[in-house]
Amino acid sequence: MINSPYIRKPASVQGVMLAVLIALVPAIVVYASQIAAVVLVNLTIATIAALAGEALVLKLRGRPLAPALSDLSAVVTAWLLALCFPPILPWWATALGVLIAIVAVKHLYGGLGQNPFNPAMVAYCAMIVAFPALMSQWPAAGQLDFATQLGLVLGGARELDAIASATALDTIKTGLRTAGATVESIMGQSENFGLVSGRGWEWLAPAYALGGMYLLARGIITWHMPAAFLGALAAISAAFWLVDPAHYASPLFHLASGGAMLGAFFIVTDPVSGATTPRGKLIFAACIALVAYIIRSFGAFPEGVAFAVLLLNICVPLIDMNTQPRVFGHRGDKAR
C-alpha cells in the first residue's frame, strides 16, 4: 500500500544530474573554442568509461543496470573529471581516472549516495600522485592545432617540452622561486597570461560561474557553498596580496585560476560528500578555500582544490553534527 503523500513533485535524481550537465555546457563551449577542442573527445571517452565502469560493477554486484545507468550521476562524475584533467591527457589516463572514480570510490562505498569522498576528486588526486608528469602537461590556449591535440590524446609520441607549458598557478609558483621575481614581472614575461590569469583559461571562470547561476536558479545548489568558498578564497588571497603584492597573486587571479570556479559551483557543492546544514555548508566551503589557498601558495602541488575537498570530506560528519539548525519552535535550544 502506498501511504501519504500521494503526490510527488516531478523531481528526479536524473533531473538533478541533467541540470548539472546543462550547467557545464557554457564552460565546455568556452573550453572547446578557446583552449582545446579535444576536450570534446575527452568528454566522450570519460562518459563511455564511466558508463562501462558503472555497468560492470552493477553486473558484478548483481544490481539492476537501468536505474543506476540512467540517473546520469556517473556522467556528471565523468564530465567533471574530463574538465579537471589536462586536455591532452592520453585517452587511457582519462579512462583510468574515471574508472577509479566510479569503481573504486563510488561503488566500493556502496554506490550512489554512499561515498563519503567526492569520487571525482579522489580520482583526480590519485592520478596526480600516480602520473605527476602526464598530469602537469597543459597546453597554452590555442597553441596546438586539433590534429596535434587528437594525436596526443589518442597516443603517439609526446615531446613534453615542446607542448607543455605550465598553468598560470604553476608558473607563478615556480617563478617566485627565482630571486628577485615578482608576480608582476612573471606575468609580464610570459605570453601565457591574459588579463587576470592564464590566457584563454581565464574565460573559463565566468563560464563556470554562469553555469553556477543556473544551478542556483534551479534550486539544485544553495548559495552557501559558492559564496563561502569564493568569499573565503578572495579574503585570504586579498590579505596576503595586500601585505606583499610582489609575492602573492591578487584575489582576482586566484578566483580566475585553476579549479576555483569549477570547484565553487560544481565540486564543493557535491551533495553526497559535502556538509548539509546551512551553517555547515559555510564552514565546509570556507575551509576548503583556506586549505586550497595554502596548498596553492605554499604546497608542493600547483592546484589545491581537489586535496582540500578530500580533506574536508573527512570532517563532514563532525561539521554536520555541530551545526544542526534550530528546529521549529525550539528557540535557543539547538539540536545536538
Partner 1 sequence: MITRLFGFKGGVKPESHKNESSGPPIQKGPIPKRLVIPLRQSIRSTARCLVQPGQKVLKGEHIGEGEGGLGTSVHASTSGTVVEIAPYPMAHASGMETLSVVIEPDGEDRWIDHTPLDLRAVSREEALAWLRGCGIVGMGGAGFPTHVKIGGGQGIETLVINGAECEPWITCDDRLMRERAAEVLSGAMILRELIGAKQVLVGIEDNKPEAIAAMQAAASKLGDGIAVVPVPTLYPAGGEKQLIRVLTSVEIPQGKLGTDFGVQCFNVGTAHAVHRAICFGEPLVSRVVTLTGNVARPGNYEVLLGTQVAELLQLAGPKADTDRYIMGGPMMGTELQSLSVPVTKGTNCVISASPALFPPPPPELPCIRCGACARACPAELQPFELYWFSRAKNFGKAQEYHLFDCIECGCCAFVCPSRIPLVDYYRFAKGEIWARERERQASDQARERFEFRNYRQEREKEEKAAKLAAKAAETRAKLADTGEPAPAPAEAEDPKKALIAAALARAKQQQAAVAPRNTEDLSADVQAEIADIDARREKLNQQDADKAP
Shortest distance in whole angstroms from residue 222 CB to partner 1: 7
Span interacting with partner 1, options 11-19, 140-148, 183-191, 194-202, rule CB under 8 A: 11-19
Residues 6 or more apart whose Cβ sits within 8 Å of residue 167: 136, 138, 198, 201, 257, 258, 302, 303
Site for partner 1 contains 60 (CB under 8 A): no
Within residues 161-220, the interface with partner 1 by CB under 8 A covers 219-220
Q: How far apart are CA 113 and CA 7, in angstroms?
A: 24
C-alpha 169/C-alpha 303 separation (Å) is 7
Which residues, numbered 258-317, are part of the site for partner 1 (CB under 8 A)?
271-272, 274, 276-277
Sequence-separated (6 or more) residues with CB below 8 Å from residue 140? 165, 191, 192, 198, 199, 200
Among 34, 182, 190, 222, binds partner 1 (CB under 8 A): 222
What are the CA-CA distances from residue 75 to residues 58, 150, 208 (Å)? 15, 22, 18
The residue among 67 and 132 lying less far from partner 1, judged by its C-beta, is 67
Smallest distance, partner 1 to C-beta of residue 9, A:
5
CB neighbours of 57 closer than 8 A, spacing ≥ 6? Answer: 102, 103, 107
CB of 255 to partner 1, least distance (A): 25
Regarding 325 and contact with partner 1 (CB under 8 A), the answer is: yes
Please report how close the Cβ of residue 68 comes to partner 1 at its closest, in angstroms.
8
Instruction: State which of residues 1, 133, 157, 300 lies at the interface with partner 1 (CB under 8 A).
Output: 1
* Phi, psi angles (nearest 5°) of residue 181: -75, 145
Segment contacting partner 1 (CB under 8 A): 3-11, 32-40, 125-133, 178-186?
3-11
* Interface with partner 1 (CB under 8 A), residue from 111, 151, 175, 194: 111
Q: Which residue from 54, 61, 73, 90 is in contact with partner 1, where contact means CB under 8 A?
A: 73
**Considering the rule CB under 8 A, would residue 16 count as an interface residue with partner 1?**
yes
Cα 246 from chain centre: 28
Choose, by CB under 8 A, the member of 61, 113, 160, 184 that binds partner 1. Answer: 113
Q: Please report how close the Cβ of residue 230 comes to partner 1 at its closest, in angstroms.
A: 20
How far is Cα 36 from Cα 17, in angstroms, rounded to an integer? 25
Report the residue from 9, 180, 191, 298 that binds partner 1 according to the rule CB under 8 A: 9
Alpha-carbon distances, residue 165 vs 98, 106, 293 (angstroms): 24, 33, 22
Q: Which stretch of DSSP H or E encloses residue 24?
A: helix 13-30
Q: Considering only 49-57, 91-99, 249-257, 318-326, which stretch makes contact with partner 1 by CB under 8 A?
A: 318-326
Q: Where are the alpha helices (DSSP H) in 176-203?
A: 183-189
DSSP class of residue 191 equals T
Stretch that binds partner 1, among 29-37, 42-50, 109-117, 158-166 (CB under 8 A): 109-117
Q: How many CA atoms lie within 13 A of 98 on its CB side?
A: 31
Which residues, in sequence order, are CB contacts of 312 under 8 Å at separation 6+? Answer: 284, 287, 288, 291
Residue ranges in contact with partner 1 by CB under 8 A: 1-9, 11-13, 15-16, 67, 71, 73, 111-114, 219-220, 222, 271-272, 274, 276-277, 320, 324-331, 335-336
